[in-house]
Amino acid sequence: GRWQRLLWDLMGVVDRGDVNQENICVINTALIFLVFCRRQQCLPHCLRLLRAYEAAAGAGRGSLANFRALLDFWRKYYSNRGRDFASLEYSSGIPYPEWLEMVHQLCGPSDDECSLSYVPPPSPSPSPHQLTRATEMEL
């Protein structure tokens, strides 16, 4: 949908080398979308769509890896700024622990479907019997 495309664009608009306190609001906006997906229990589906956008864009874009790196900056930034995260809570209505849980989940291990670094398990190889049968069907 349109909002997934907007989210994907938000995740790639700030480069990890250019992130600062002036543009961290872009990261926060993308995180709000993801918090809402998580609340609706559709985060895995949302991330699958984002991975599909990434695949369609080709290897040069790298929005998901870029956003993952931005989340490292986000964690450091808010870990030492009590007033800033209190403002984040107040302005968004999202409790700070929920922000932290979302970031923690997105930065999770590559075997977690809700991680930005998720790598799907390889498809099982067909058995020799299945290959023989498929070949026979083609003939």
pLDDT tens per residue, range 24-75: 999 999 999 999 999 999 999 999 999 998 888 876 668 899 999 999 999 9
Q: Are 12 and 60 in contact (CB under 8 A)?
A: no
Picking from 42, 40, 88, 48, the residue whose alpha carbon sits closest to that of residue 64 is 48
Q: How many domains does the chain have?
A: 1
Q: Specify the pLDDT at position 5.
A: 86
Question: In this structure, what token pair is assigned to residue 106?
Answer: 């997105």
The residue type found at 43 is L
Q: Which domain holds residue 27?
A: 2-138
Q: What is the DSSP string of 75-131?
A: HHHHHT-HHHHHHHHHHH---HHHHHHHHHHHTS-TT-TTSTT--PPPPPPPPHHHH
Q: Specify the pLDDT at position 102.
A: 97
pLDDT above 90 as % of the chain: 55
- What's the pTM? 0.82
Find the mean pLDDT for residues 72-86.
Answer: 86
